Amino acid sequence: DNKDLVLLDFWVSPFGQRCRIALAEKGIPYEYSEQELLGTKSDLLLRSNPVHKKIPVLLHAGRPVCESLVILNYLDEAFPSAARSLLPSDPYARARARFWAAYSDKVYELGTKLWKLRGEEERAQARDELVQVLRNLDGELGDKEFFGGGEFAFVDVAVVTFMPWLPSYERYGGFTVKETAPRLAAWARRCGERESVAKSLHSPEKVDEFITMLKKFYGIE
């Protein structure tokens, strides 16, 4: 295995999965290092990301790169001869891709509130905001095959890892993706046919079990 590249990760993390999909798409070998997050974090993780103490962290020749989208950008720049790039070459297209990839984090941020917040009002607010985020993503995708246009690229990698979480968000939030963002739902199925995606994502059932476990862990009914 390639000691030069180590990914500190957590099996169900959509942020870590972004990196796994990018590395697979680019054909870059690396060592996967599963981290303990709910118990005692490893010294390696705490040393590598002392600011956020979060995964994913990419260790490249021992030097830590933190934040999933920063890692995706870094992979394009540090491995220019890899099988493919994820960002387009045009500066304006790159700017738009970075905007939408960063925006998609809201899916997870708001979705988490649906199962974590105790107040009915706060949950309803989070639901309404999440529905709007999904509508905006659906609008940006439009009738394109992928967010990257004709090819699966940067924004697609950023967004697709949240898809297995949506069935749980639908149930906790009381909405359907089919009605809210039908083109996004179809796009998610298309992405799931790619090997890099299929081998990195877990099933909605597994994700839902994980959420149930987290609710118990946090003592949320």
- The answer to whether 200 touches 161, Cβ cutoff 8 Å, is yes
For ligand GS8, what does the binding mask look like between residues 70 and 109, x meaning CB under 6 A?
----------------------------------------
Please say which residue, 104 or 196, places its beta carbon nearer to ligand GS8.
Answer: 104
Element (H, E) at 59: strand 57-60
Which range in 9-17, 20-28, 151-159, 163-171 contacts ligand GS8 by CB under 6 A? 9-17
Q: Least distance in Å: CB of 180 to ligand GS8? A: 23
CB 3 within 8 A of CB 31: yes
**Residue list 103-132, contact with ligand GS8 (CB under 6 A):** none
Closer residue to ligand GS8, CB minimum distance, 56 or 148: 56
DSSP annotation of 86 reads: S
Assign residue 13 a region (left: φ > 0; alpha: ψ between -120 and 50; beta: otherwise).
Answer: beta
In the complex, what is the shortest distance from the CB of residue 37 to ligand GS8, in angstroms, rounded to a whole number? 5
**Residue among 56 and 164 whose Cβ is closer to ligand GS8:** 56
Which residues, at least 6 apart from 87, have a Cβ–Cβ distance to it below 8 Å?
73, 76, 94, 97, 98, 153, 154
Site for ligand GS8 in 13-42 (CB under 6 A): 13, 15, 37
How many separate helices (H) and strands (E) can be counted in the chain? 11, 4
Residue among 137, 143, 153, 53 nearest 100 (CA): 137
Name the residue nearer to ligand GS8 (CB basis): 13 or 180.
Answer: 13
Nearest to ligand GS8 of 53, 206 (CB atom): 53
Among 32, 60, 64, 67, binds ligand GS8 (CB under 6 A): 67
Does 154 bind ligand GS8 (CB under 6 A)? Our answer is: no
Cα angle: 63, vertex 69, 73; to 5 degrees: 70
**Which of 20, 54, 113, 127 forms a contact with ligand GS8 (CB under 6 A)?**
54
Dist. CA 195–CA 76, nearest whole Å: 20
Q: Which is nearer to ligand GS8, 76 or 145 (CB)?
A: 76
Can you tell me whether residue 45 is helix, strand or coil? helix
| Contacts with ligand GS8, residue ranges (CB under 6 A) | 10, 13, 15, 37, 53-56, 67-69
